[in-house]
Amino acid sequence: MAIKQVVYEPLTTDTARELSKNLQLFNQNDQLSAVEIGDGNLNLVFRIQNVINEKSYIIKQALPYAKVVGTSWPLTLDRSRIEGESLKRTYQLVPELTPKVYYSDSTLAVTVMDDLSHLIILRKGLIAGNQYPKLAKDIGIFLAHTLFFNSDFGLNQQDKKIQSSQFINPELCKITEDLVFTDPFFDHDTNNIDDTLKLFVTETIWADPALKLEVAKLKQAFLTKGETLVHGDLHTGSIFVSEEETIVIDPEFAYYGPFGFDVGAFIANLILNYLAQDVHLAVQPQKKAEFQRYLLDVITETWQVFEQEFTTLWQEHPQDAFMNVDGYLEQTLQTIFSDAIGFAGCKVIRRMIGLAGVEDVESITDVNLRNQVKKNALTLGKKLIVQRNELTSIQKLVKVVSDHA
Ligand code: SR1
Ligand code: MG
């Protein structure tokens, strides 16, 4: 059905509309609207809609550079292939939590998928103080199924090796290695730090050798633990939600990495929203307390659902002879948990001082209030990294967050 495009060119609204007709997503005579709606750091995103019956699709196209910086930062188009393959694999495992891919083309670097415009990006929903009753359960299930069934525990070990070779993603991993695990911990020119915060960052982060040692270990885990196919960028901007639905998008950073990476990313972004609510909801103390309690409950329930579901999958679909050995499951879960807390700490810190901030915090216009949130986040991120092996239960983790001032 598709017409193979041999040369890459960035789409325009006109060529995106034309492509959707060539792909027979619509009839030739349909009147279509096309709008570029991408607000992320890297890609073009077009929404193509039949103006009469409102049927619509998303065409996502990778640009050959990082949009957030410009053409001076070239970036592989292969991330589009990775994203398409990851979405298709995830759709096999959790179809209700993933957009369906209708077409992908690695030359044009496009992926055509469900339009999710009836949902809201979770980050925006949380900033607005909305609660999503299904979120924790859905993300717990998403994490358990994707992480288990792409690992040697749940996938034939030969198949896992073949699959892992399809997700070699060096350039996108390098972004994470630099922006999450390296640059924020040094006085690096990619960092984005208000002058009034620089002394605090110097003393609290850059001059702390014990912190740096722990970050070095976490970076090493990111570099070497090819345990399972991770989403690779599971922040609250990568999740669409409503009260009834949760859909995870945007796995262009997917690669074979540590079990705890996605878990940590999700927790980190909930923590950042929690800290930012000190300002956003400052004039509504009761709503603030209630909403922050909700965020902690989401963290708790996500982990509990993940743990229960992972345990069930471990017992029902074992691929390794050792999986019924006493203590193996418990030790695996404990390692996932402590890795996740450490990764969460790194992600909290990178969003405060690194290249790409988060709207939850950056939308605080008063620089003093924003800096106070950033200071809280930096010291909490540090605690998570250095105390990760002592935080041996979800209750202990949540207490560290709620006790932190
Ligand atoms: C240059 S890309 C900056 C960040 O945006 C993505 O969402 C990733 O988190 C990446 O680190
Ligand atoms: Mg993204």
For the chain, the 3-state helix, strand and coil shares in percent, each to the nearest 5, are 55, 15, 35
| 63 CB within 6 A, ligand 1 | no
pLDDT in tens, 306-335: 999 999 999 999 999 999 999 999 999 999
Considering the chain, what percentage of its residues have pLDDT values greater than 90?
A: 95
Give the amino acid at 335: T
Helices (H), 94-202: 122-127, 135-149, 157-165, 170-179, 198-201
Which pLDDT band holds residue 70 (cuts at 50, 70, 90)? confident
Instruction: Give the pLDDT confidence score for residue 163 in this predicted structure.
Output: 98
Instruction: Give the pLDDT confidence score for residue 363 in this predicted structure.
Output: 98
For residue 354, report the distance from its CA to the centre of ligand 2, in Å.
16
Q: Is residue 1 pLDDT above 70, yes or no?
A: no
Instruction: Give the pLDDT confidence score for residue 69 in this predicted structure.
Output: 84
Give the amino acid at 403: D
First-to-last alpha carbon distance for the chain, in angstroms, is 58
Ligand in nearest proximity to the CA of 250: 2
For residue 68, report the distance from its CA to the centre of ligand 1, in Å.
9
Q: Identify residues whose C-beta is under 5 A from ligand 2, the ion.
A: 40, 250
Contact 291, 259 (CB under 8 A): no
Angle of helix 328-353 versus helix 209-224 axis, rounded to 10: 120
Interval 97-105 mean pLDDT: 97
Q: Is residue 173 pLDDT above 60, yes or no?
A: yes
For residue 73, report the distance from its CA to the centre of ligand 1, in Å.
12
Interval 142-165 mean pLDDT: 98
Interval 350-374 mean pLDDT: 97
Dihedral class, residue 62 (left if φ above 0, else alpha if ψ from -120 to 50, else beta) = beta
Contact 339, 259 (CB under 8 A): yes
pLDDT in tens, 199-232: 999 999 999 999 999 999 999 999 999 999 999 9
> What tokens were used for 372?
């106070």
- The CATH code of domain 13-114 reads 3.30.200.20
Instruction: Give the pLDDT confidence score for residue 292 in this predicted structure.
Output: 98
For residue 67, report the distance from its CA to the centre of ligand 2, in Å.
11
For residue 373, report the distance from its CA to the centre of ligand 1, in Å.
21
- CATH fold for domain 120-403: Aminoglycoside 3'-phosphotransferase; Chain: A, domain 2 (3.90.1200)
Domain boundaries, given as residue ranges, for the chain: 13-114, 120-403
Q: Is residue 245 pLDDT above 70, yes or no?
A: yes
Contact 99, 71 (CB under 8 A): no
| 233 CB within 6 A, ligand 1 | yes
Ligand in nearest proximity to the CA of 175: 1
Interval 384-405 mean pLDDT: 96
- Residue 360 makes CB contacts below 8 A (sequence gap 6+) with 123, 126, 127, 269, 272, 273, 276
Instruction: Give the pLDDT confidence score for residue 289 in this predicted structure.
Output: 97
pLDDT in tens, 184-201: 999 999 999 999 999 999
Instruction: Single out the residue of 59, 57, 62 nearest to residue 9, CA to CA.
Output: 62
Ligand in nearest proximity to the CA of 79: 2
- Binding-site residues for substrate, in ranges, read 233, 350
| 175 CB within 6 A, ligand 1 | yes
CA atoms within 13 A on the CB side of 157: 6
d(CA 133, CA 376) in angstroms, rounded, equals: 27
Contact 99, 57 (CB under 8 A): no
- Residue nearest atom 11 in ligand 1 by C-alpha distance: 176
Ligand in nearest proximity to the CA of 38: 2
| 398 CB within 6 A, ligand 1 | no
3-class secondary structure, 95: helix
- Residue nearest atom 5 in ligand 1 by C-alpha distance: 41
Instruction: Give the pLDDT confidence score for residue 4 in this predicted structure.
Output: 58
Give the amino acid at 40: G
d(CA 366, CA 143) in angstroms, rounded, equals: 37
For residue 238, the ligand 1 atom closest to its alpha carbon is: 7
- Residue nearest atom 8 in ligand 1 by C-alpha distance: 233
pLDDT in tens, 252-283: 999 999 999 999 999 999 999 999 999 999 99
Residues linked to residue 44 through DSSP beta bridges, in sequence order: 61
Instruction: Single out the residue of 317, 298, 291 nearest to residue 246, CA to CA.
Output: 298
Contact 64, 74 (CB under 8 A): yes
- Residue nearest atom 1 in ligand 1 by C-alpha distance: 66
For residue 236, report the distance from its CA to the centre of ligand 2, in Å.
10
Which pLDDT band holds residue 390 (cuts at 50, 70, 90)? very high
Instruction: Give the pLDDT confidence score for residue 5 in this predicted structure.
Output: 55
For residue 48, report the distance from its CA to the centre of ligand 2, in Å.
20
- Residue nearest atom 4 in ligand 1 by C-alpha distance: 356
Interval 60-65 mean pLDDT: 95
For residue 74, report the distance from its CA to the centre of ligand 2, in Å.
16
Q: Is residue 2 pLDDT above 60, yes or no?
A: no
d(CA 287, CA 160) in angstroms, rounded, equals: 47
Interval 72-97 mean pLDDT: 96
Residues linked to residue 70 through DSSP beta bridges, in sequence order: 66
What is the predicted ipTM? 0.98
Query: β-pairing, 101-105 with 110-114?
Result: antiparallel
- Binding-site residues for ATP, in ranges, read 43, 60, 250-252
| 190 CB within 6 A, ligand 1 | no
- Residue nearest atom 9 in ligand 1 by C-alpha distance: 233
Beta strands in 131-269 (DSSP E): 228-230, 239-241, 246-248, 255-257
Which pLDDT band holds residue 376 (cuts at 50, 70, 90)? very high
